[in-house]
């Protein structure tokens, strides 16, 4: 077998090359566990939304201490950082 036949065999194959649009549409929303947890002085929260999103932080008694997000966003994955300094009523 000579080198020219090796190159022909390598380049001559029946598998077509195809490019698919792999864009995935979100079908549901999700809110991931914050990290680091426990945190001091900040934590990061990842979330996925379809449109409107509102993320509120509550204390152990159920009182609202901070609104992190309250807006209409395009469908997608997002991340927000929450700093203890954003809510003066929270201790570190």
Across residues 8-21, what is the average pLDDT? 53
pLDDT at 65: 85
62-71 pLDDT per residue, tens: 988 889 999 9
Beta-carbon contacts of residue 76 (< 8 Å; ≥ 6 apart) = 26, 48, 49
> Hey, how many other C-beta atoms are within 10 angstroms of the C-beta on 45?
19
Report how far residue 70's alpha carbon sits from residue 90's, in angstroms, rounded to the nearest whole number: 20
Decide which of 85 and 25 is more confident.
85
Domain boundaries, the chain: 26-86
């Amino acid at each position: 077998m000579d080198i020219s036949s090796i190159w022909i065999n390598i380049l001559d194959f029946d598998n077509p090359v195809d490019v698919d649009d792999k864009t995935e549409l979100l079908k549901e929303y999700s809110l991931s566990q914050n990290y680091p947890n426990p945190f001091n002085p900040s934590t990061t929260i990842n979330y996925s939304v379809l449109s409107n999103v509102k993320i509120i932080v509550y204390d152990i008694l159920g009182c609202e201490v901070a609104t992190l997000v309250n807006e209409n966003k395009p469908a997608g994955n997002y991340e927000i950082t929450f700093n203890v300094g954003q809510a003066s009523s929270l201790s570190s």
